[in-house]
Structure 1
Amino acid sequence: MLQAPQRTALSGPALVRLLARLADVDAVESKQSLSDRLSQWLGWTDAIALSSALNGSPPAAAAGARSFGRAEEDECARVRNSLASAIAGDSVFAVARRRGSAQAAPRGSVETQADYAVFRQRYLALQQSMETAIGTLRGRLRALLAARTPAFARLAVVDAVMERALSERERTLLAAVPGLLGGHFERLRDAAAQQSLAEAEVHAATEAEAEAAATSTDPSRPAATTAHAAPLTQDTWLNVFRKDMQSVLLAELDVRFQPVEGLLAALRAC
Structure 2
Amino acid sequence: MSDESANPYPTVEPIATDVSPNQANETNPFTPSKDPTVTHFHSFFYDTFTWKYPRTTGLLFASSLAFFLLGHYVNILRYAFKAAYITFAATAAIEYLGRPTTGTGFMTQVRPAKYYTIPRENLEMVFAEIHEFLNFIVLEFQRVIFVENLTVTIASFVFSLIGYFLVKFMPIWSLLILADVLLFTAPLLYLQNQELIDSHIRQASAAANDQLQNARGLAEKHTADYSAKAKAYANDITGKLVSVYQDRQKITKSDTIKTE
When normalised by structure 1's length, the TM-score is: 0.30
Larger radius of gyration: 2
Could you say which structure has the greater relative contact order, defined with CA pairs below 8 angstroms and 6 or more residues apart?
A: 1
The structure with the largest helix share of the pair is 2
TM-score by length of 2: 0.31
